[in-house]
Structure 1
Amino acid sequence: MTARILVTGGTGTLGQLVVPRLTQAARDVRVLSRSAREIDGVEVVVGDLATGQGVDKAFDGVEVVVHCAGSAKGDDEKARQVVKAAVPAGVRHIVNVSVVGADTLPVVSGLDRAMFGYFAAKRGAEVAIEQAGVGWSNLRATQFHDLAFSVAEQVAKSPVVPAPSGFKVQPVDPAAVADRLVELALGTPQGQVADVAGPRTYTFKEMVGIYLRAAGKRRLMLPLWMPGQAAAAYRAGANLSSGQGTGRSWEEFVAAKVAR
């Protein structure tokens, strides 16, 4: 009998790619979702990691957890809820997805915390899982194509686009991240594994420019100097991976997205 695998955030951008890959591998899959959903061949349990409501039921009888549930803030608390439920349930392996820069981007206070607190929360989630006493694998990924597209689309609504000076991004196709998470879930705990990142690095201006050309828009780009320690780390490339990139390029993703 195969191990039951729970996917938190199973209906989100990443989770909805992970779940079918696990079912295609003939695995017994359960999804934890904040709202009732129907997914073919998958048990869905309603629960909320932000409050802990319904979470224990989702973990009952589970051996492996793929923790994909994430948001703009509070990911450290969500991870603590995962650990709180996983330990008494006898989970043997937690596969966590984090972000490149979680362990290197400093976050202090004020503007830094408002803009880069996400990285601190992700690191807090990593620590909670590392210290749980359960086998774990932690995969850090660069920015998803979907997020980069949303940012480009949003800033392009203005006739003048602020472009943070020196900021670079390395967007990655979520499908490549999902592939690696499934590979980890079907194996033994690996601890910290190599990052997964996109095949190319772009300046913020280049990233938005690719979107503008594909969308047939013209905008004025205004260089913007961002103060603070975290911004300095961002300019130094703390959010970038030094490993080999993979998956579709940003150009390919944007072209396909705009065509749809």
Structure 2
Amino acid sequence: MTSVLVTGGTGQLGRQVVRALAADGHTVRILSRRPAAPPVPGAELLVADLSTGAGLRQAVAGTTAIVHCATDPRRSGTVDVGGTARLLEAARDAGRPLVVHVSIVGIDRVPTDYYRSKLAAEEAIGRSGLPWTVLRTTQFHGFVLQLLDRMTRLPVVPVPRGWRVQPIDVDEVAGRLADAVVAGPAGRLPDLGGPEVFPVVDLVRNRMGEAPRRRPVLELPLPGAVAAALRAGANLVPGNRSGGRTWREFVAGRPQPVER
């Protein structure tokens, strides 16, 4: 049993990590920028800000492990790069806790600013001198569903030609991160993907089939390096598929699309 700090512990993944750690008997602290109710009884919520460093030293003090889930695609330079650096500095001054970091499959192959920031955060952890573990995963079910619902609201639904996704269950990832705390420093773990790979166009058509009104789907050959990387499957891990809920099981438990 250890004292574990979870950054981003009130977010989609962080909340599930907190639950998994608490179920394993760990003492859990949650780092959040704003006061909030902890997702499990007994967890301690500490207000701190990765973007400024305010409160980080107090949050890290006395912990034996940190599960770093906090991220912000809109401010990735400030939060993912700068915030990770500030967190590591505080951790080095607090007794060298294990750092377990969740990252994204393809950040070294899909050239977006956000992915470059995620890669920079990984590299900072690797050279920090702290014990560390990094797990890259594919996109969560909920993120893929949000993307599909945004696309299918349009009168004509545009779909990038050749793109595929491999959605993964957030609970599965949370469990892997909790296990990594117990296992100790392992460096970069094998990338982890969801149990199935789907063409995006198939998911769009399936989602639209559940809506009251059908609309035309237009597959578009998008230009550019990002589109090419996604057509090449840089975001996929077909050779290392996880267990956990499948896409169909996830969608079956969600509300049906609403006609707009």
TM over 0.5: yes
Summarize the Cα distance change of 1:174–1:216 in structure 2 as closer, same or farther, 3 Å threshold.
Answer: farther
The corresponding residue for 1:256 is 253
* Aligned residues of 2:196 and 2:241 also touching (Cα < 8 A): no
Question: 1:83-138 CA distances to partner (integer Å, 9 max, x unpaired)?
Answer: 12111112331000000001222x2xxxxxxxx22211111110111110001100
Equivalent runs, 1:1-260 vs 2, <5 Å:
2-39=1-38, 40-73=41-74, 74=76, 75-105=80-110, 107=111, 116-241=112-237, 242-258=239-255
Gaps of 5+ in 2: none
- Counterpart Cα distance in 1 of 2:71 and 2:215: 32
Paired residues in the alignment total 250
Q: TM-score by structure 2 length?
A: 0.91
Structure 1 residue ranges, 4+ long, deviating more than 4 angstroms after superposition = none
Question: 1:40-64 CA distances to partner (integer Å, 9 max, x unpaired)?
Answer: 1011100111222211111111110
Partner SS, residue 258 of structure 1:
coil
* Aligned residues of 1:139 and 1:196 also touching (Cα < 8 A): yes
- Counterpart Cα distance in 2 of 1:147 and 1:231: 18
- Counterpart Cα distance in 2 of 1:220 and 1:90: 58
The corresponding residue for 1:112 is none
Kindly state the Cα deviation for residue 196 of structure 1 after the two structures are TM-superposed: 1.9
Partner SS, residue 50 of structure 2:
coil
Q: TM-score by structure 1 length?
A: 0.91
Kindly state the Cα deviation for residue 176 of structure 1 after the two structures are TM-superposed: 0.6
Q: CA RMSD in A?
A: 1.6
Q: Percent identity?
A: 40
Partner SS, residue 186 of structure 1:
helix
- Counterpart Cα distance in 2 of 1:77 and 1:166: 35
